[in-house]
Chains A and B, each alone.
Chain A
């Protein structure tokens, strides 16, 4: 069985319901399961009739749940950055870094960056203790952005590392020609600095803090990329309607581009006869399609989770290596 599972799809198709059902039924088969909600509009707790928080809580035998509070993750991250800047900077900088750090909250990319580190944290903390970690995903746009983030950011980190390496090499050359050269510009005297004291910045990758930090980010991103492409079971949930199908197709297309491939399609809210199946199978040629018929009375209690049919996807997940 894979260590991680993601259920994706258009809003309302049943991502939360299917995630919760698979989690619940696996826990009934004596698998240790952690279910994690990444959706800022948390409703995973409602399904289990329990309040979920940032701290994991038991939802039943062998089953625990967590709700990732993204804004708390962003706030924590910003606080750490601010403290690190304060302790590293010698001078109160000419630019207002506090402001920069504050507006970061609203910067594009921050939310998905926080999702990434939350997933990394969950994996590091809990992968050993559970047989499987199931993620209930946020709306498609955010899900695709956080899945794409490792490869996009890696490109940047790669370029920046190359450039940093060149800078360090140049510094080495300068010092070889003139050992007394100041290779790092210092703060001007009139600015209360000590311009005439030569500063010997790092010339080596091994002790250049910027290079070290870049390598650290790169390693974490590579690990996340591996998590998504090799350790994860990805399933797209659709309904028999055309809108949810076209969103599912878009998800597959975007993921293919990232080198991440979906394992299956869950056709949820179908009829007993499997309405819409042919159409889904035709569009997702080769990909297994599993059906979960609509409960006409709706999902009203936790006990309904043993009634919803997820046999197909559950067995496929268990068999996936």
Chain B
């Protein structure tokens, strides 16, 4: 009887934990996507006249950056955010 009473809260805790876990990873996924975006901006900043490594060096990484590039280009706020993004990068030591 006692066991049965506890079963429901236990299940509930289980659900909540899972929801929280997904929430937590969603947040982290968002963060990691942002970082990948910044990585691409840092590398291909010369597209927008930002200080950037030599384009010829960036090209060497281009073949492996399909996802990041798509992410970077798909961002509607890309142009406006560029400077802010670089400011952020400067905090990422």
Chain A residues with CB under 8 Å of chain B are 77-78, 81, 84-85, 87-91, 93-95, 97, 100-101, 104, 107-110, 112-114, 149, 152-153, 156-157, 159-160, 162-164, 166-167, 170-171, 173-174, 177-178, 181-187, 199, 201, 209-210, 213-214, 217
Of chain B, the residue at the smallest CB distance from A166 is: B35
Partner of A84, one of B46, B57, B63, B89: B63
**Are A156's CB and B63's CB within 8 A?**
no
Shortest CB distance B19–A (Å): 11
- Docked Cα-Cα span, A241 to B92, in Å, equals 50
Of chain B, the residue at the smallest CB distance from A178 is: B25
- What 10 pairs between A and B have smallest CB-CB spacing? A109-B54, A156-B53, A113-B56, A107-B55, A178-B25, A84-B63, A88-B63, A209-B64, A170-B32, A181-B25
**Are B67's CB and A107's CB within 8 A?**
no
CB-CB under 8 A from A199, the residues of chain B are 67
**Are B67's CB and A104's CB within 8 A?**
no
Partner of A166, one of B47, B57, B92: B92
- Docked Cα-Cα span, A54 to B15, in Å, equals 69
Chain B residues with CB under 8 Å of chain A are 21-22, 24-25, 28-29, 31-33, 35-36, 38-39, 42-43, 46-47, 52-57, 59-67, 69-71, 73-74, 89, 92-93
Of chain A, the residue at the smallest CB distance from B71 is: A185
Partner of B28, one of A84, A110, A177, A186: A177
Shortest CB distance A287–B (Å): 31
Shortest CB distance A134–B (Å): 26
Shortest CB distance B79–A (Å): 14
Offer 21 A-B interface pairs, CB within 8 angstroms, sorted by A: A78-B59, A81-B62, A85-B62, A85-B63, A93-B70, A104-B59, A113-B57, A149-B54, A156-B53, A159-B42, A162-B93, A163-B42, A163-B92, A167-B36, A182-B29, A183-B32, A184-B67, A185-B71, A187-B70, A209-B64, A210-B61
**Are A81's CB and B59's CB within 8 A?**
yes
- Docked Cα-Cα span, A254 to B66, in Å, equals 38
Partner of A153, one of B24, B53, B93: B53
- Docked Cα-Cα span, A91 to B63, in Å, equals 12
**Are B59's CB and A101's CB within 8 A?**
yes
Of chain A, the residue at the smallest CB distance from B72 is: A95
- Docked Cα-Cα span, A210 to B59, in Å, equals 12
Of chain B, the residue at the smallest CB distance from A177 is: B25
- Docked Cα-Cα span, A177 to B32, in Å, equals 14
**Are B60's CB and A217's CB within 8 A?**
yes
CB-CB under 8 A from B35, the residues of chain A are 163, 166-167, 170
Of chain B, the residue at the smallest CB distance from A77 is: B56
- Docked Cα-Cα span, A217 to B66, in Å, equals 19
**Are B53's CB and A95's CB within 8 A?**
no
Shortest CB distance A101–B (Å): 7
Task: Apart from A108-B54, A113-B54, A185-B67, list 9 A-B contacts with CB within 8 A.
Answer: A81-B63, A88-B64, A107-B55, A163-B38, A170-B31, A178-B25, A183-B32, A184-B67, A214-B61
